[in-house]
Amino acid sequence: MAIRYISPAAVRLRGVSRAFDLVPAMSRVDLEVDAGEVVLIRGPNGAGKSTLLRIVATALSPTAGTGQVLGFDLLSQREEIRRRTELVSHRTRLYEDLTALENLRFAATIHGADPCRAGAALERMGLARVSRETVRGFSQGMRQRLALARAVLRGPELLLLDEPYAGLDPEARELVDDLVTAARSEGRTVLLVTHGGARPGLATRSVLMRGGRLHALAPGEPALAVPG
């Protein structure tokens, strides 16, 4: 049975660093996110934002530091974390030769979700009309919608969104906003990474990442005015 630490924090990182070929991408990052928060992480390209999300999702291991995600140890309890989180990024992790519906049903099967909800998830993200088409013919925007539909289907405790607005039309951007708002109302935790815009008021808190380090924004500081 997995040991779950008693902690009010959904994410707790202490001194987490990550280097690629000895080049630091993140340096001594401390981050604490309470359950139910929607935290917007802003910053320019190359700031380390995607690396941060991939470490929280256990897709990458830190080269230094410690952490807990949803009460589980970041290094020794990776599978427990993966069962409870969903990372949506430009790496959509979809199966090219499966249809949209088959992709979601397969994801539901391996993650313990209800496959019968796949159709409703596709409809919510505006993909019902292409549910039986193979992903190979999808545009990047459609793939992004399908990855978001997978997140809807799974209903994770922690939702990690890496540039979720990239490649989406205005209607789809509204769907992302609605997804985040619904997650917040359900008490789920969201980390949202972007160097562009997000709807004002969508997040409960904003932080700035630059040069591989996190910087807290002072109360009242315009989080949506970060250059990038």
Tell me the domain boundaries of the chain: 9-93+157-220
What value does the mean pLDDT of the chain take? 89
100 Cβ contact list (under 8 Å, min separation 6): 122, 127, 130, 131, 132, 133, 135, 138, 146, 149
Q: Under CATH, to which class is 9-93+157-220 assigned?
A: alpha beta
**pLDDT, tens digit, 9 for 90 and up, residues 105-135:** 999 999 999 999 999 999 999 999 999 999 9
Which ranges constitute the DSSP H helices of the chain?
49-56, 78-84, 100-111, 118-124, 140-154, 170-185
3-class secondary-structure state, position 176: helix
Comparing 10-14, 27-31, 137-141, 216-220, which segment has the lowest mean pLDDT? 216-220
* pTM score, whole prediction: 0.89
46 Cβ contact list (under 8 Å, min separation 6): none
